[in-house]
């Protein structure tokens, strides 16, 4: 009798203890070499369509390879070559972590379902939209919403930025300084950090830093190929260069804050200035000495 009771109890316990987690998605299409790494560390190559995907699975593609992941609600993720994502699901909370490369996603709008995309530069919450996401050098991302709306957030900065149709941004987050550099690739961006709102025109950008102890938000413009709002000179900046441009009652002041900036006058004369140098004020060039030893004057 005791033996029979123990056997019955064992039958009840074993399926619960060793049950496999349910399928959360599947591979609907693939090309080339596509691999899976499961939560227990086991790895396998995808060899057939409708290969099931489980909680905490990592999907990766080799060079010249692609894969499409489909969820039960029709949400699709198209993974490019040399890319890797980790999928997590908790009830109706679904997270896709991009660890390498890029993807495009068609997120279906489903009541109660929340989909987020996690990258080194924050988390994007999505409700019914086409998403295009690429990892860039040093953990930056390029993020676009081709349809619908997504909200990109960096919790430690109290950072929020909405991307709707026809808007695309490049975001780089520096965790050690709690700073984010954002460039508008397409459309106007509205960025909120704590209680500070920054508007960024297409082709321009902004660098924002948040001190969670003092609550102070620092803002520094990064201008891409911008005109100086004056006919006398233009500024040519590369990604990462920065300057502060200020109009005062008596004239103008422009100071390099990051990198090296090339300045070109209306006569075509060029000067290269380094971080900390002031470009001009009171409509008169400060006659900075360039690496070549050339001095230029700004027309009054």
pLDDT digits (tens, 9 = 90+) for 24-69: 999 999 999 999 999 999 999 999 999 999 999 999 999 999 999 9
The half-sphere exposure of 34 on its side-chain side, counting CA atoms within 13 A, is 26
pLDDT mean across residues, the chain: 78
pLDDT of residue 261: 77
pLDDT of residue 258: 83
Least confident among 80-84, 109-113, 200-204: 109-113
Strands (DSSP E) contained in 92-166 are 93-100, 102-107, 114-119, 122-135, 141-154, 159-164
3-state helix, strand, coil in the chain (%, to 5): 10, 55, 35
pLDDT of residue 246: 63
Helix (H, G, I), strand (E, B) or coil at 272: strand
Mean pLDDT for 76-92 is 92
User: Which residues face 142 on adjacent strands?
Assistant: 134, 170
d(CA 33, CA 128): 30
CB 205 within 8 Å of CB 184 = yes
Domains of the chain listed by start with CATH number = 23-223 (2.60.120.1440), 225-300 (no CATH)
């Amino acid at each position: 009798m005791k033996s029979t009771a123990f056997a019955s109890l064992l039958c009840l316990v074993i399926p619960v203890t060793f049950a496999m987690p349910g399928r959360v998605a599947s591979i609907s299409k693939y090309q080339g070499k596509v691999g899976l790494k499961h939560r227990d560390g086991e790895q396998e190559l995808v060899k057939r369509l409708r290969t099931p995907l489980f909680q905490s699975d990592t999907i990766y593609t080799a060079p010249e390879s692609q894969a499409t992941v489909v969820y039960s609600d029709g949400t699709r993720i198209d993974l490019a070559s040399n890319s890797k994502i980790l999928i997590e699901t908790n009830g109706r909370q679904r997270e896709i972590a991009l660890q390498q490369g890029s993807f495009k996603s068609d997120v279906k709008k489903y009541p109660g379902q929340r989909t987020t995309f996690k990258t080194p530069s924050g988390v994007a919450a999505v409700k019914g939209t086409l998403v295009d996401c690429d990892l860039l050098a040093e953990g930056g991302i390029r993020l676009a919403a081709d349809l619908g709306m997504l909200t990109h957030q960096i919790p430690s900065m109290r950072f929020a930025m909405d991307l709707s149709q026809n808007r695309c941004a490049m975001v780089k987050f520096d965790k050690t300084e709690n700073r984010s550099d954002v460039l508008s690739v397409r459309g106007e961006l509205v960025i909120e950090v704590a209680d500070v709102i920054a508007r960024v025109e297409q082709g321009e950008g902004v660098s924002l830093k948040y001190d969670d102890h003092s609550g102070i938000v620092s803002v520094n413009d990064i201008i891409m190929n911008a005109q100086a709002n004056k006919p006398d000179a233009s500024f040519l900046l590369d990604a990462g260069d920065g300057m502060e441009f200020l109009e005062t009652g008596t004239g103008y002041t422009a100071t390099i804050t990051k990198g090296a900036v090339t300045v070109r006058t209306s006569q075509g004369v060029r000067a290269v200035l380094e971080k900390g140098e002031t470009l001009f004020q009171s409509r008169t060039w400060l006659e900075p000495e360039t690496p070549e030893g050339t001095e230029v004057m700004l027309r009054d």
